Structures are given as C-alpha cells and as structure tokens.
Amino acid sequence: MKRLYAVLFALLLVTAGCEAKSNLNIESDTDQHIETTKAPNKMPKDMPSTFNFMVRFGIGTVNKNEINTFQGTVTKDLIENGTASAKIKFTKEELNSIYLKMRDINIMAIQNLSPAVSGCERVPFSEDMWEISINGETNTFTWTDKHCNLTDEAEQVLELRRLIQDIVEEKPEYIKLPEAEGGYQ
C-alpha cells in the first residue's frame, strides 16, 4: 500500500512539474509576443517643416528648465534666484539630429516609461514633461527616473534630453544666462 502511495505521489509530482513547465512556456511565449508587437514608426524619414518640441525638466517636481522650439526660447532654473530666459534658435543640422534621434526611438509611439516593478526610489530624482508636434500630430508625456530601474524607452528619452541639453548649453545665448545659486534638497 505504501508503495502504491509512493508511485501515485511520484506521478503527481511529475504531472505537476510538467504543468508548471507548460505554464512557464506559455508566459515566455506571451512575453516574446509583447516585445515583438511594438508600434510601427509613422514618423517621416526626413524632418518635416512642422516639427517642434518642448521639454521641461528639473529636480523632483520643480521643472523650471525648459527648451521650447514652439516659442524659440530656453529657460534656465537659477534655483534661489528664480529663472532666466533667452531667445534661442537651433540650426537646421541640430534640429535634424534631434529629429533623427526622436525617429530612432519612435518617440511618437512612446508608451512604456514606468517600470513594471518600481522597487527602490532615488532621492533626488529627475522629471521631464514633453510635448512633441510633427505634421500636426502631438504627443505629450511625462516620465521620471524616481525609480531605480528605468525602462529601455525611459533610458532613450533621457539620452535624447541630454543630447538636446548639450546642444543648448553650447549656445552663446545660453552661456550668457546667469549661473544658478543654491541647490535642491
């Protein structure tokens, strides 16, 4: 009798193991399917004349820095001394390099900016608010690096903002703006 129970128990374990393995394979297939169903890139290959963007960013929810091609302005957070703004104009080559980076990351179809598991939090953290307009279509979104793990799309958006910020910080109009004083806690 004990032998019969042992055999039944062994069969039960094997059956349960096969079922668990089968479920894992289904989940794995589903995950792979999700990864391969990214939105098609509908952005034109060449930068259209109706391309504009605005990115507002800063520490935490203090988003006083702004780069705005709609208005042709840049605003710098001076922390203790408020903000300072200047008129700024990108060259066609600069705008084209920004546009190509946006096209490369398919910015008009950005969807997954929050990690599935938030885990730990950074202090301080950055937050960006974006508005991008191409051929009359507008995409707006916000993202943060508050969580330690960033999605691939969030990393790409951060890299894009840094590219734009680097271009702006080399402009004479930006260099003439006053230095920030103080800091955020």
Answer yes or no: do 29 and 73 share one domain: no
Same domain flag for 5 and 62: no
Count of domains in the chain? Answer: 2
Query: Does 65 lie in the same domain as 33?
Result: no
Residue 44 lies in a domain: no
Specify whether 77 is located in the same domain as 103.
Answer: yes
Instruction: Kindly state whether residues 23 and 63 are assigned to the same domain.
Output: no
- Say whether pLDDT at 84 is over 90: yes
pLDDT digits (tens, 9 = 90+) for 107-133: 999 876 776 666 777 788 888 999 999
Same domain, 146 and 57: yes
Q: Is the peptide bond before 40 cis (omega within 30 degrees of 0)?
A: no
181 domain residue, yes or no: no
Residue partners of 173: CB distance under 8 A and separation at least 6: 74, 86, 87, 88
Write down the pLDDT at residue 21.
Answer: 37
The answer to whether residue 149 sits within a structural domain is yes
Tell whether 20 and 83 lie within a shared domain: no
pTM of the model: 0.76
Three-state DSSP string of 114-142: CCCCCCCECCCCEEEEEEEEECCEEEEEE
In this model, does residue 90 exceed pLDDT 60? yes
Segment 4-45, tens digit of pLDDT: 444 444 444 333 444 333 333 333 333 333 343 568 898 999
Mean pLDDT is lowest, of 29-33, 73-77, 109-113, 154-158, for: 29-33
| Edge-to-edge strand ranges of the sheet holding 62-68 | 83-87, 73-77, 62-68, 51-59, 126-134, 137-144
User: Which of the two residues, 14 and 103, has the higher pLDDT score?
Assistant: 103
pLDDT of residue 116: 62
Question: What percent of the chain lies above the pLDDT cut of 70?
Answer: 76
Q: What is the pLDDT of residues 160-179, one digit of tens each?
A: 999 999 999 999 999 999 99
Token pair recorded at residue 63? 């988003």
Task: Tell me: do 115 and 61 sit in the same domain.
Answer: yes
Say what the pLDDT of residue 138 is.
95
Domain enclosing residue 142, as ranges: 51-175
Q: How far apart are CA 81 and CA 87, in angstroms?
A: 19
State the chain's mean pLDDT as an integer. Answer: 81
